[in-house]
Amino acid sequence: MFKGHPKGLFALALANTGERFGYYTMVAVFALFLRANFGLDAGLAGTIYSTFLGFVYFMPLIGGILADKFGFGRMVTIGISIMFAGYLLLSVPLGGDTLAMVAMLGALVFISVGTGLFKGNLQVMVGNLYDDPKYADKRDSAFSLFYMAINIGALFAPTAAVEIKEWAETSLGYTSNDAYHFSFAVACASLIVSMAIYYIFRPTFRHVEGGSRKAGVVNTEEELTPAETKARVVALCLVFAVVIFFWMAFHQNGLALTYFADEFTAKTSEGIQSMAFNVWNLVVVIIGVYAAFSAFQSETKNGKIASWVVVFAAVAFLVWKAMNVSGSVAVSAPIFQHFNPFYVVALTPVSMAIFGALAKKGKEPSAPRKIAYGMLIAGLGFAVMAFGSFGLLTPDEQAAAGANGTFVSANWLISTYLVLTFAELLLSPMGISFVSKVAPPKLKGMMMGGWFVATAIGNMLVAVGGLLWGGIPLWIVWSVFIVLCLVSAIFMFAMMKRLESATK
């Protein structure tokens, strides 16, 4: 799975893991911080939060345009520094007055701008590694590994944010408001680690940073005619259009699916199911999965033996935990957020193995076809929710019923997140790979920024889930997203000839 890739991939992936861990740690508690520290109502806090997310995903367009002119490595370096300044400013407890509000908003600007310079351009550099013909056939798998690294950071972030805050309150005696700043400090520290990884291993990817040309260096970039450039840009814009509706549906995990978790899902979990709500149990599952793949792929006898020992140890631990489960655990809506990154990390080797086997037979689908399949599977995920919601009260009726309302098993959401993650693995890393491959050489930064702009627009349209939440039967709410996913998939298949021709 990891064999045959350039060393630069792992350096860039680990640098991104540190940055994403910091970002998701901050995001996990930021909305709560706004309300607790500044006394904002839910609407204003939500507006600040969503506006920040919009800028985070829009700014890579500006960062990409600058990188096309000044170099990807230079923009990444500047971006890390600006992000660090933003997280550092958030880490300082300044109270809840006007000055503190201004400082907080300034920190958000720094983080948004820094992310815009860092995130998209780092991904362009990953793609540039695979412009080398020696690695070209591993581009899709490279972005799968890169995407997995992002989700390792996301998996631990919510737990880290909550536990460091609780530690500051109970062990250090800080008030609830000031304790939030310790979570932001974690983000600050993670960026230091990210910076260290980036600069220590920079020699492994420095040749793809772009920037000024040195004398005597031959330009190996592909030269395109204006017609070819136009065809590629059009193909990318078609993909961006589909991506908007995927993220609109997928990111209901932070809105409509979270509302469902909060209002319609059982508040406690017992037995083996309760083990899924402990992140460390999930980590053991991940270790077991990767050890199993290592056992089959290892080229040495000792390597195979060691891998199988780890597999059996992981299974034995989980069996022991299952046999000793007692009582019930409280299930809060935010905890469901760790299932998506868990599935991404655990299933990445599975998806890579499947597509690797297909590639050997010459039957691996193209990136655009994978994206279309991803949209179909996303529709299936919401079909699971629609099926599980038949017969339930509307959200308004459920609120009026209170404790007498109908509550369903957490398994509906756990299953839905599993299906949606399969869709995500087909669409997100494959989409990024497609952009890195198809984007005209002189527009790589801008086109990767376009991918994030599409994501930003999709995030803004997530609000549709909230607007539908109220007096409408739940199965109709989920059906809206089913239809959007199916229509997008049909559109992709209709444009497939044009999209696939752009990759040749």
Q: Is the pLDDT of residue 504 over 70?
A: no
Q: Give me the pLDDT at residue 186, please.
A: 87
pLDDT in tens, 443-494: 888 898 899 899 889 888 888 888 888 889 999 999 999 999 999 999 999 9
Which whole number is the average pLDDT over 50-68? 88
What is the per-residue pLDDT across 83-111, written as a single tens digit (0 to 9) for each? 999 999 999 988 888 999 999 999 999 99
Name the region of 94 (left: φ>0; alpha: ψ -120 to 50; beta: rest): alpha
The confidence score (pLDDT) of residue 42 equals 64
Domains and CATH numbers, the chain: 1-209 (1.20.1250.20), 225-267+331-504 (1.20.1250.20)
Compute the mean pLDDT over every residue in the chain, rounded to the nearest whole number: 87
Q: What is the pLDDT of residues 13-27, one digit of tens each?
A: 999 998 988 888 888
pTM higher than 0.85: no
Distance (Å, whole) CA 272 – CA 84 = 41
H/E run at residue 16: helix 7-38
Report the C-alpha gap between 386 and 284 in whole angstroms: 32
- Cβ 124 vs Cβ 444: under 8 Å: yes
| Residue 268 β-bridge partners | 330
What distance in Å separates the CA atoms of residue 437 and residue 370, rounded to the nearest whole number? 15
Tens-place pLDDT, residues 345-368: 999 888 888 888 888 888 888 888
Say if residues 115 and 23 touch (Cβ distance below 8 Å): yes
pLDDT at 247 over 80: yes
Alpha helices in 39-97, H assignment, sequence order? 42-70, 72-91
Q: What is the pLDDT of residues 158-210, one digit of tens each?
A: 778 878 888 888 888 887 878 888 888 988 899 999 999 999 999 999 988 88
pLDDT at 217 over 60: no
Q: Of 419, 447, 417, 415, nearest to 431 (Cα)?
A: 447
Q: Pairing state of beta strands 328-330 and 268-270?
A: antiparallel
What kind and span of H or E run contains 329?
strand 328-330
Please, are residues 108 and 52 in contact by the beta-carbon 8 Å criterion? yes
What is the residue-wise DSSP string for 330-393?
E--GGGGGGHHHHHHHHHHHHHHHHHHHHHHTT-PPPHHHHHHHHHHHHHHHHHHHHHHHTTPP
pLDDT more than 70, % of the chain: 96
451 and 242 Cβ atoms separated by less than 8 Å: no
